[in-house]
Structures are given as C-alpha cells and as structure tokens.
Amino acid sequence: MKPSVIALYVGIVLAGIAAPLVIPNYTFQIAVLWMMILFALTWDIMGGQMGYNSLGNIFFFGAGMYISAVVQVAQFAPVGEYTAAFGAYQVEFTDAQYYTGLALGIVAAGIGAIFCAVILGACVFGLRGPYFAIGTLGLALAAAELVGGWEWVGGGGGISMPVFPGDPDVRSKLFYYIVFVLAITTFGFLRWLYTTRFGLAINAIRDNESKAEAMGLHTKRYKTAAWSIAAFFLGMVGAVFGNMVGFIEPLEVAFPTVTFGIFMVAMSLLGGKGTLWGPVLGATLFHVIKELTWTYLLGWQWVALGALIVVNVVFFQQGILGWAMDRWPEKFGIVVEPAHGEGRAVGAQEAAR
C-alpha cells in the first residue's frame, strides 16, 4: 500500500471516531451514514461483483432486527405476552443483563440471517437476470406483510425494544460506535475478500455463469456464500439499528423495501458498482443529498429521491468511479494499448480494489 492510501484509511477511521465527540448533535445522522455505507457495500457483493441484482437484500436487515428483538426480549419476559402489551409490559434487568442481551441479540441476528440466506438461496438462485430481481423483491415485500400479520412478534404494532439502562448520550455514542465498527469491518473484510480466489470466482459468475460452471466452479456454493456474507453483516446492523431506534415495526423500520431497500441499489450504482470504493462514495453522496432534500424540499423529498434514482440509472449508469475510470484510466492503472486500436481495460478490476 502506498503511504497516501494508508493516510486516507487512517484519516477516515480517525474522522469516524472523532465525529460523535466533535459534532454530538449529528451522531444519529452519521451512524445512519455508516449504515448506508454498509448497505451499499453488502449489496455490491451480489449486485456489482457477482452480477446478481437483488432488490430484496433489505430482508436480512429486517430479519436480523426481529431475531435480535426476540432474543433480547426472551431473556426477561415471554415474547408473546411482552408484544401483546405494546410496551406496557414492565421488565426488570440489570445493566450487565442488558449488555449481554444486546451482544447475544447481535450475534444471533448475524447467524440467523445466514440461515435465512442459505434457505432462501436454495429457493431463488435458479432465477436469473430480472427474475432474480423480482423474486427477491417479492421476498422482502412478503416478509413485511407476513411479519405484519404475526401476532407473536407484535404484528403490525411492532415491538418496543428493552430500554437502554444508561444515559441517552452514552446510548447514542455506544450505538454509533457499534455501527461504525461494523461498517469498517465490512469494508476491511470485503477488501480482503475481493483479492482472494473467492473474489475471482464471483466475478467469473458475473461475466458468464454457464462458462464458470463449465470451468468447474460450484456456482451455487459461491452464490450462497456471497449472499450469506451480505446477510451476516446486514443482519447484525439490523439488530443494532433496531436498538438504536428503540421501536421496531415491519413496514417502515424493519423491511423498508421501497426506501432503504432501493437506496442500497441506488447508492452502489451512484458510486459505481463492481468496485470497492464506489459504494462508499455513492452512499456518502446519496446520504448527503437525502438529508439536503429533507431539509430544503420537505414534502417532495421522496419524489426528488425517486427522480435521482431514475436520472442516475438512465443517464449516469457507470457511476462516479466508472466515469472517473473512463476519464482518467491511467490513474487507475489501466493500460491502454494504442497499437490495437481499441483500448482494453485489462487492469480495471484490479485497479478498482
């Protein structure tokens, strides 16, 4: 690694650590920003690197949220009675119990999400192209509706999470740092993953799945593994977000398919899909635009965001990094051979990492 790159990483980590201390009023917003980055990164494992465009990855976010809620609540009270009382059920617990519950909930959410990914993967991985996108969209929508009708987990009324035992300021900082660590871990893990044989294999699936299969790759195993990785991180961040918000309900918080679910796709495309830094850039930019439209276009913010997605997809499909690679290929280590007339972007993938 070049020193400038190391400096960049150190700078980002320091900024992330310092942010809630310097601008405490924005702690929640910045936590959501890290979550958005994680969303875009995990979507890109499938969508960008493997060519399987899922519109339903938000399912794992919601699944993780509900798994952790059930695990956390079950420690102190019978889940059915707790949810039936809509927050009126008094639970007694010590600080230590709360933190073990939270930790258990997050871990269970990650593992549970992997289970979901393996089981659902068996159902949908035969679908290709647009059918996969629509099928996964259907899964996420179905999950929201089914959970909404499931009384044991509170149905449409949702669950209020166990109340954080400490100071509100400590609470927001704690959840901020958990989300921050999760996002950084995801980035680091994917950075390593894309340099391994696994990264090459999923790229091969993107380029031509039948050929990859003919070359002896167990494409189904790779697809399941890739989806499980995405699900693992999404499930954990879902668990944290549920606790951060304090109240979860199926349509708007846990399975927000038409907001977060589509944002993660839009963010990856905006930054440039199939690259490591693209989703990070896209998520940051998108989040800023989102907050700006919230402030200045209140009421029409969703229309503006929808229009942004359309414009992005229709006119600027390659994304910021893709555009930059076209514009300054030499900066990305892409060697254009003039002798052959047509430039071959040989190093594009390597450079993107």
Partner 1 sequence: MLDNLSLLIQAPLLNIQLLLDGLLIGAIFALAAYGLALVWGVMNVKNLAQGDFVIMGGYIATSFAQHDIHPFFALPAAIVLMFGFGWLCYVSIIRRVIGRDIFVSLLATFGLALVLQQALNLIFGSDVQTADAGFKTRFFFGGQVTVADTKFIALVLAGVLAACVVLFMKKSRMGKAIRATAQDARAARVLGVNTDQVYAFTFALNSAICGAAGVLVAMIWVIQPYYGIVHSIRSFIIVVLAGLGNLPGVIFGALFLGSAEQFSSFIFGAEFQVASVVCILVLVLIYRQVQSARHRQVVE
Stretch touching partner 1 by CB under 8 A, among 88-96, 111-119, 279-287, 308-316: 308-316
Q: If DSSP codes are grouped into helix, strand and coil, which group holds residue 262?
A: helix
320 closest CA partner among 277, 289, 351, 288: 277
156 binds partner 1 (CB under 8 A): yes
* Cβ 244 to partner 1 shortest distance, Å: 25
Q: Is 298 in the site for partner 1 (CB under 8 A)?
A: no
Which of 86, 131, 294, 323 binds partner 1 (CB under 8 A)? It is 131
Does 217 interact with partner 1 (rule: CB under 8 A)?
no
247 and 160 Cβ atoms separated by less than 8 Å: yes
The answer to whether residue 306 forms part of the interface with partner 1 (CB under 8 A) is yes
Q: Is 313 in the site for partner 1 (CB under 8 A)?
A: yes
Minimum distance between the CB of residue 124 and partner 1, rounded to whole angstroms?
7
Strand partners, 248: 159
Computed on alpha carbons and rounded to an integer, the radius of gyration of the chain in Å comes to: 21
Interior CA angle at 248 toward 242 and 251, to 5°?
120
Q: Does 141 bind partner 1 (CB under 8 A)?
A: yes
- Measured distance CA(74)–CA(108) in Å, rounded: 13
Q: Which amino acid is at 267?
A: M
How far is residue 38's CA from residue 114's CA, in Å, rounded to a whole number? 16
Residue 104 exposed, middle or buried by CB count within 10 Å (0-12, 13-18, 19+): middle
Q: Name which of 135 and 282 has its Cβ closer to partner 1.
A: 135
Exactly one of 35, 133, 174, 183 binds partner 1 (CB under 8 A); which one?
133
Distances in whole angstroms, Cα of residue 50 to Cα of each of 78, 185, 192: 42, 21, 16
- Residue 201 interacting with partner 1 (CB under 8 A): no
Mask for 258-297, x = binds partner 1 (CB under 8 A): x---x--xx--x----------------------------
Q: How far is the CB of 298 from partner 1 (least distance, A)?
A: 11
Segment interacting with partner 1, rule: CB under 8 A, options 21-29, 122-130, 158-166, 239-247: 122-130
Q: What is the H or E stretch that residue 120 is in?
A: helix 95-124
Chain Cα centroid distance, residue 341: 41
Binding stretches for partner 1 (CB under 8 A)? 53, 55, 123-124, 126-127, 129-131, 133-135, 138-139, 141-142, 145-146, 148-149, 156, 258, 262, 265-266, 269, 299-300, 302-303, 305-310, 312-315, 317
